[in-house]
Structure formats: C-alpha cells, structure tokens
C-alpha cells in the first residue's frame, strides 16, 4: 500500500470581516468541512468554479493561512497548530507551483539565483554545489543551460512555468500543490507542462494536488477528484468514477460544459445536459465523500 503523505479532516477556513459603523461583521466560509487524503505517487484533482475555495484550501494546507477548524496531517504528523518556526523545516517537503510565474519569480534575479535560493534558505550545499544543482534543474525541466544567466522576462509563459516547477522541485519535496498552474497557458503549452509534471511525479514519487477549474485538464492528471462548490466538497472519488458516473448534480453540470469532439461522446454530453437542467437555483445536493 502506498504511503499516505497528506490527510485533512473536516478542514475549515472562515474569514470574518470587521464590524463597521453602518454594517455588521460577516463570515465568509471559504473552506467548510473538507476531508481527503493523498498518497505518494498519487494526484488529487481539485476542481470547481472560480471563487469556490480551491486556492484557499491549497494555501491552508500549506499553512499560509491558519485553519479555522479541522486537522492537517503530513506524513502522519498533526501539523495543524505548528508555528512558523516549526513549519520552516517542513517547507522543503511541501511546495507549490503558482498560476502566474511572472509574478512569483523575482524579476531582478537571474534564473540561477532563483533556483539557488531554496538551497540558500535551507543552508544546503556550497556556492559551487548550488550552481551545479541549478544547472541540473534546468536540464530536468527541459531548458537550455544558458538560461541560468538570463532573467524571467526573457522567457515565454511556458518556459517561465518550467522555471517555477524547477524551483518547486529543487529540494525534492514529497507534496507538490499546482494552483491553476497551466490555466494561463496556450493549449499546446498546457499539454507540455502537464506531461512534464507527470514525468517528474513518476521520477520523484510525488504526491500532487492539481487545482483547476478545467475538468478536461484535471481528467488527464488525476487519480482521484474532489469537486468543490462554495467551500464545500460536493463529490469525491476515483477520477474514472466521478467522470463516468457523477453523483452530485453540480458535478454533472460541470461535466456537461466540457467541449466534446468525438461523435460517440455527443449523446452522453446531451444526456448530462438534460440532467443538469433539473438543478434548481439553490445550493446543490451535498454528497457524502
């Protein structure tokens, strides 16, 4: 049995606004009672519309936000209440690839400096060793050796995302969270980045959470799929099962919106569209994970 890397139990992330002179405070339930687990070498696809809480969930798992309630277990250890100091040595094992690499990469640093930074922060290796490792990372993600002396603005969006991935895997993490990491790229470039991620996952036996609003992309990479709606998980299960026999009405609606190219699939799409029309304007039925 594969080793469980991450388990979250009834995780909640609520944001409360301050009270004003003319308005009462209110609470936004960005993540509301979500539970799942991810094993080594496994990918969980986290899908839903913009604003459903996917990215907030990812940031809460990484402890960039302190959870309101629930538990976060990393490799069997409860890290829910870990302080910033306690989390520091764990950061090398939990990494993230963001949506916009241009914003997440320091524009004043060369690619070599960017890739060496994780080693510097964790005080790993000598200057010469870090330079060598940076060059190896570039090769691993399919970029030329001379990229090491150049700057982020000199690269295309897909190349910058490769640099972001190289930085994320520098310290050989056990968990990689990809937060809409291909959504800003052209379709052909998306495929290249997805193939790269899958290749690296296989080589490194990574546990991966792939966050996206695009079900067709999630389908390509996921072992299990979690569907979120207004902070809640309305469906969770093996990817094949979720895509072929969705239980939640909201999942059926999302699936009906995926473009269909093959004629054999058009009848299935039409059936899903008809079923989705039954959904009322209210909150969809909650399914048990």
Summarize pLDDT for 7-44 with one digit per residue, the tens: 999 999 999 876 666 566 788 899 999 999 999 999 99
| Other Cβ atoms closer than 10 A to 140 | 18
pLDDT, position 287: 37
Residue 289 in this model has a pLDDT that exceeds 70: no
Confidence (pLDDT) at 21: 62
Q: If you average pLDDT over every residue of the chain, what do you get?
A: 87
Q: 188 and 266: one domain?
A: no
The SS3 of residue 127 is: helix
Q: Which two tokens stand for residue 187?
A: 């379709």
Confidence at residue 19, expressed as pLDDT on a 0 to 100 scale: 66
Q: Is the predicted pLDDT of residue 277 greater than 60, yes or no?
A: no
Q: Report the domain count for the chain.
A: 2
Contacts of 198 (CB under 8 A, 6+ apart): 221
Residue 281, pLDDT above cutoff 70: no
Determine the average pLDDT of the residues in 213-233: 92
| pLDDT of 260 | 63
Q: Check residue 16 and give its pLDDT.
A: 86
Mean pLDDT value of segment 276-281: 46
Reported as type and span, the H/E element at residue 114 is helix 111-121
Instruction: Please check whether residues 143 and 265 belong to one and the same domain.
Output: no
Q: What is the pLDDT of residue 20?
A: 62
Domain identity same for 118 and 253: no
255 and 185 housed in the same domain: no
Q: What count of residues does the chain have?
A: 289
SS3 136: helix
The two tokens of residue 278 are 């039954």
Question: pLDDT of 250-264, one tens digit each?
Answer: 999 888 877 765 555
The answer to whether residues 192 and 143 touch, using CB atoms and an 8 Å cutoff, is: no
Helix/strand/coil (H/E/C) assignment for every residue in 208-245: EEEEECCHHHHHHHCCEEEEEECCEEEEEEEHHHHHHC
Domain check: are 268 and 138 in the same one? Answer: no
- Asked if residue 274 and residue 221 are part of one domain, the reply reads no
CA distances from 263 to 147, 155, 230 (A): 44, 39, 34
Q: Are residues 237 and 256 in the same domain?
A: no
Instruction: Please indicate, yes or no, whether residues 94 and 216 belong to a single structural domain of this protein.
Output: yes
Residue with tokens 């291909």: 182
Are residues 178 and 265 located together in one domain of the fold?
Answer: no
The range of the structural domain enclosing residue 266 comes to 246-280+285-289
pLDDT on residue 200: 95
Same-domain check for residues 176 and 85: yes
Which residue shows structure tokens 């919106």? Answer: 257
Say if residue 185 is in the same domain as residue 121: yes
The CATH code of the domain that includes 145 is 3.40.50.300
Q: Are residues 148 and 180 in the same domain?
A: yes
More confidently predicted of 54 and 2:
54
- Burial of 76 per CB tally in 10 Å (0-12, 13-18, 19+): exposed
Quick one: pLDDT band at residue 284, thresholds 50, 70, 90?
Answer: very low
pLDDT mean over 57-66: 94
């Amino acid at each position: 049995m594969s080793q469980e890397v991450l388990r979250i139990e009834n995780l909640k992330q609520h944001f409360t606004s301050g009270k004003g002179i003319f308005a009462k405070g209110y609470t936004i339930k960005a993540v509301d009672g979500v539970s799942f687990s991810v094993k080594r070498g496994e990918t969980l696809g986290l899908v839903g519309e913009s604003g459903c809480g996917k990215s907030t969930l990812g940031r809460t798992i990484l402890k960039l936000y302190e959870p309101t309630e629930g538990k976060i277990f990393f490799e069997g250890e409860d890290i829910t209440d870990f302080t910033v100091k306690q989390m520091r040595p764990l950061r090398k094992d939990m990494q993230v690839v963001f949506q916009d690499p241009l914003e997440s990469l320091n524009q004043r640093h060369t690619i070599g400096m960017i890739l060496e930074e994780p080693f510097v922060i964790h005080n790993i290796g000598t200057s010469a060793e870090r330079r060598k490792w940076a060059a190896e990372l570039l090769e691993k993600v399919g970029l030329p050796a001379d990229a090491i002396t150049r700057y982020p603005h000199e690269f295309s969006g897909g190349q910058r995302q490769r640099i972001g991935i190289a930085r994320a895997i520098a310290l050989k993490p056990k968990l990689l969270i990809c937060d809409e990491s291909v959504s800003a790229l052209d379709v052909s470039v998306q495929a290249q980045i997805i193939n790269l991620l899958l290749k690296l996952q296989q080589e490194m036996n990574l546990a991966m959470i792939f966050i996206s609003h695009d079900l067709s992309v999630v389908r390509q990479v996921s072992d299990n799929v979690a569907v979120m709606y207004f902070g809640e998980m309305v469906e969770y299960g093996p990817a094949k099962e979720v895509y072929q026999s969705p239980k939640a009405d909201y999942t059926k609606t999302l699936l009906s919106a995926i473009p269909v190219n093959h004629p054999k699939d058009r009848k299935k799409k039409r059936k899903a569209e008809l079923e989705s029309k039954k959904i009322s304007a209210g909150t969809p039925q909650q399914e048990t994970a």
